Structure formats: structure tokens, C-alpha cells
Amino acid sequence: MSVLRTRPTTRCRAGRARPARFDESGSGTVLIMTLMLVAMLLGTAVLIVSGYRVAAVQARAGADSAAFSGAQAAVAGADGCAVAASAAQANGVELVECSEVGDALDLVVSVRVEAPVSMPVAGLPESIPAIAHAGSLQTVDPP
């Protein structure tokens, strides 16, 4: 014996059958789950952007510090790039390139550093570069 399933019906005032409205229970759960998913995606995006922003600030600060330290050491007669490398390491960045240009009166130390990103994303860079220049310009008093 087979059971025939039909849609539930209700009777209207005129006595005719009309389909009953389906229960909407559970629709609030779906809405809340969707809102939670959107909030999680937005939170993840904010974390990723913040990680890249922090790396950019760290790279700039590390580059400035390394360039200033290197220039100060070079003016004192030491190896400016060696001092710049240790200053970069102390600031949590990697010294990629360093150059000293000039003489005892006019000297510029240029550095290029890279700061790692805390949460790298596929397709985006894993480190942020920064460049800084520092030096001294000593004027000679006229005779």
C-alpha cells in the first residue's frame, strides 16, 4: 500500500481548499549564519591589511634607522654599511642593499631594507621594501 503525500491545505471562509503557508522556522538561523560569515570575512581582510601596514611602517622605520646609523658611523671613519646592517637587524628588517657615496666632507649612505609580513597571502608580496638616504654635508669656512 502506498501513501499519497499531498501539500497541507487549509479551508478559507468560502470552504474552498487553499495551500497552507509553509513554516519559516529556521530562516533566522540562516540569516545570522550569513551575517557571521560576512563579519568573519571582513575581520580577516582587516587583519591582512593591518599586517601589511605594520610591515610597511616597520620597513620605513628600519630603513631610516639603518641609514642614520650608517651615516653617523661613516662620518666617524667606521664602515657605514656594517653599522647599517646591525641597525637594520636590531629593528627587525633585513638589509638588502647599502652604498656609501662621497668623501669626508660630503657623504651619503643609502640603504634598501625589507620587512617581513606577519600574515602573507598568496599572490601578495611576503616582504615590504623601503629605501632611505642619510648623510652629512660639512661646510668649510672660507679663509
Residue 23 lies in a domain: no
pLDDT in tens, 21-74: 666 677 788 899 999 999 999 999 999 999 999 999 999 999 999 999 999 998
Residue 97 lies in a domain: yes
Instruction: Tell me the C-alpha distance between 140 and 101, whole Å.
Output: 19
Instruction: Please indicate, yes or no, if residue 104 is contained in any of the structural domains.
Output: yes
Domains identified in the chain, total number: 1
Q: Is residue 87 part of a domain?
A: yes
Helix (H) or strand (E) holding 67: helix 27-75
Residue whose C-alpha cell reads 647599502 in the numeric block: 98
Please compute Rg for the chain using Cα positions: 33
Q: Does 141 fall in a domain?
A: no
The mean of the pLDDT values for the chain is 85
**9 in a domain, yes or no?**
no
- Comparing C-alpha atoms, which of 42, 86, 33, 87 is closest to residue 64? 87
Residue 48 lies in a domain: yes
Residues in the chain, how many? Answer: 143
